[in-house]
Copies of this chain bind each other. A is one copy, B any other.
Amino acid sequence: MKGVLLTGFEPLDGGGNSSWEAIALVPGVRTALLPCRFGEMLERLRAAVAEHDPAVVVCVGQAGGRPDVTVERVAVNLDDACVPDSAGSQPIDEPVVRGGPAAYFATLPVKACVAAARAVGVPASVSQSAGTFLCNHLFYGLMHLIATERPGVRGGFVHLPYSPDQVLGEARPSMPVPVSAQALTAIVTTAVSVSLGGDLRLVGGSLH
């Protein structure tokens, strides 16, 4: 049976990254650690997908400052970095894939995934933007890979809050890593079991 591949990020600047710690706690899945480098992360993603041949791929990143687990809905064809990546690259207003469509929607059942996280007691919501930095780059790269080469694979992106030890003295929102992992476990279980096109019809948009 085909399974689930979760990817996490290396720390960007020595500051830790909750995504890698969290996916390590999700049972029964394959995982891949990706570098915080434009371009190279997509090659590593492609290799991991080739190796594991998964039915579901969920890339996981960290959205420092957000208070809940967010399931991303839209990947846009845009790299616009406000800081450099770990190799010093800082693309501004360039496409992720030259000639690619302006955006892809996640093929995860995003509303059902959000509902599943809440059902296990973890605050979660849909996000309408994964930004224009590394997370969106990976998300778009994943969806483009699926669209062009792996049409049967279901893919998406989930953002986690800071872990508590990243913000001990900063009065910023955080979530313990095992709690984030619980949400991820519920999300991938849902992603595997809900049929394509079978998302829940739940309120979850944003006003602006």
Contact = CB atoms under 8 A, between A and B. Distances in A.
A31 to B, nearest CB: 21
Majority DSSP secondary structure for residues of A touching B: loop
A14 to B, nearest CB: 16
Given A67-B174, A204-B80, A208-B61, A168 B123 contact: yes
A205 interface: yes
A50 interface: no
The complex is assembled from copies of this chain, and their number is 4
B129 A128 contact: yes
Most buried by B among A176, A206, A208: A208
Interface stretch (A21-29, A103-111, A186-194): A103-111
Contacts of A92: 201-205
Interface residues of A, number: 62
Most buried by B among A92, A136, A206: A206
A11 interface: no
A201 B80 CA distance: 10
